[in-house]
Amino acid sequence: MKKTFTFCITKIAMVFAVAILMTNMVNAQGIVINEIDYDQPGVDSAEYVELYNAGPNPVNLADFRLMLFNGSTSGTTGNKPYDSILLPSQTLSVGAFFVICGNSGKVPNCNLTFTAATNCIQNAASATATTPSPDAVYLQDIQQGNIIDAVSYEGDCLAPYLEIAGVPSGNSDTIVADSVLSRFFSIGRFPDGTDSNNNSLDFNRMCSTPGSANVANANGCVTAIAEVKSAMSILVYPNPSHGVLHIDMTKDYFKQVKVSVIDLLGREVKSVDLGDFDAIYSMNLSDLNKGVYIVKIQTATGSMLQRVELSK
């Protein structure tokens, strides 16, 4: 009996220890670097880093700093941070975005600006270059100094400034990609917050979507951040929705409007063509299963995406 009792107590203690460890891991992984746009056509004046709370609880941004890392293996400036950005004392709700940008006049939904308006985030030299020079962005816990999340791009920075493998040049936000029809691309997670702890799997080239839901690929990207900004005058509410979603387009006159609802597998589950529109459209989602959806609103001058939770 004594042995059995000791075993049971030990087993219970182990269960509690594992539960505590798992809770700490979840909390540590709550806030992630969700999207980075470090290269635009011409002058890099619309750079940004987007954070996202993928965890189960709100977080205080003041507990973290955003670090920009030079991954070059040559010279005295290599393999060290080149900028540090303290985040404000602000609660980031579950499922919410926070955008740090170079120029708030050119980046929609910008919450905090870098010191410089242009060339804030290093482009990196591709891993295929003669002298590879990947770069990284990482989040650091201020109190403990731990790296909470790290993204290495254009190749592999040295550990711990990457997760398993960096974003390869084939999936990166490079000048070659940006020069194609002057489209605006970034690298990001899809769906938002997806984190396998492997940069090369979690990040892909996609259309730039600062402060709104990420998309799966780089198809149909707009040709200027201004087009994205004009679409941001559209309001989508309530969120979460219990079935009816209102899309307010009264702030402007929009042409060739199409509203689509996309599930997290990338399937279009509902759509409507509104033509030229400047009113409030109410879309009934009550026939869909509860969960998270992406609402895509396309107009003649750009498009926007909004992550919407349907709860019944």
pLDDT above 80 for 234: no
Residue with the two structure tokens 């936000």? 173
In this structure, of 9-13, 94-98, 231-235, 286-290, the range with the lowest mean pLDDT score is 9-13
Q: Are residues 176 and 40 in the same domain?
A: yes
Residue with the two structure tokens 């989602």? 285
Q: Is residue 13 part of a domain?
A: no
Q: Are residues 183 and 272 in the same domain?
A: no
65: which residues sit within 8 A by CB, 6+ positions away?
84, 85, 86, 87, 139, 140, 142
Q: Are residues 203 and 83 in the same domain?
A: yes
CATH number, residue 301:
2.60.40.3080
Q: Are residues 243 and 294 in the same domain?
A: yes
Facing residues of 271 across strands?
Answer: 260
> φ, ψ for residue 275 (rounded to 5)?
65, -145
Spatial distance between the Cα atoms of 213 and 25, rounded to a whole number of angstroms: 24
The DSSP secondary structure of 230-289, one letter per residue, reads HHTT-EEE-SSBSSEEEEE-TTS-EEEEEEEEEETTS-EEEEEEEEEE-SEEEEE-TTSP
Residue with the two structure tokens 């708030």? 104
Q: Are residues 209 and 80 in the same domain?
A: yes
Q: Are residues 207 and 281 in the same domain?
A: no
Spatial distance between the Cα atoms of 21 and 10, rounded to a whole number of angstroms: 16
Q: Are residues 188 and 67 in the same domain?
A: yes
CATH number, residue 46:
2.60.40.1260
Spatial distance between the Cα atoms of 27 and 44, rounded to a whole number of angstroms: 34
> Are the C-beta atoms of residues 56 and 28 closer than 8 Å to each other?
no
pLDDT for 244 equals: 93
pTM of the model: 0.67
Q: Is residue 18 part of a domain?
A: no
Please calculate the CA angle 44-50-56 and round it to the nearest 5 degrees.
175
Q: Are residues 120 and 165 in the same domain?
A: yes
Facing residues of 69 across strands?
Answer: 81, 136
> Are the C-beta atoms of residues 229 and 223 closer than 8 Å to each other?
no
- Out of 222, 247, 270, a domain closes at 222
The DSSP secondary structure of 47-86, one letter per residue, reads -EEEEEE-SSS-EEGGGEEEEEEE--SSSTTSSEEEEEEE
pLDDT for 42 equals: 74
Q: Are residues 189 and 66 in the same domain?
A: yes
pLDDT above 90 for 60: yes
Q: Is residue 114 part of a domain?
A: yes
In this structure, of 109-123, 253-267, 270-284, 291-305, the range with the lowest mean pLDDT score is 291-305
Nearest C-alpha neighbor of 101 from the set 41, 38, 147, 161:
38
In this structure, of 62-71, 74-83, 200-209, the range with the lowest mean pLDDT score is 74-83
- Out of 162, 187, 222, a domain closes at 222
The DSSP secondary structure of 3-15, one letter per residue, reads HHHHHHHHHHHHH
Q: Are residues 214 and 249 in the same domain?
A: no
The DSSP secondary structure of 148-193, one letter per residue, reads EEEEEESS-PSTTSSSSSPBPGGGS--HHHHTGGG--EEEE-SSTT
Please calculate the CA angle 205-210-212 and round it to the nearest 5 degrees.
100
Spatial distance between the Cα atoms of 192 and 50, rounded to a whole number of angstroms: 11
The percent of residues in the chain predicted with pLDDT above 90, rounded, is 39
121 is in which domain, residue-wise?
Answer: 30-222
Q: Are residues 208 and 94 in the same domain?
A: yes
Q: What is the mean pLDDT of residues 144-158?
A: 94
How many domains is the chain built from?
A: 2
Q: Is residue 1 part of a domain?
A: no
Q: Is residue 248 part of a domain?
A: yes
Give the number of residues written for the chain.
312
pLDDT per position as a tens digit, 83-101: 999 898 889 989 999 999 9
pLDDT for 188 equals: 96
Q: Are residues 87 and 164 in the same domain?
A: yes
- Out of 190, 222, 254, a domain closes at 222
The DSSP secondary structure of 86-148, one letter per residue, reads EPPS-EE-TT-EEEEES-TTTSTT--EE-SSSSS-S---B-TTSSS-B-EEEEEEETTT--EE
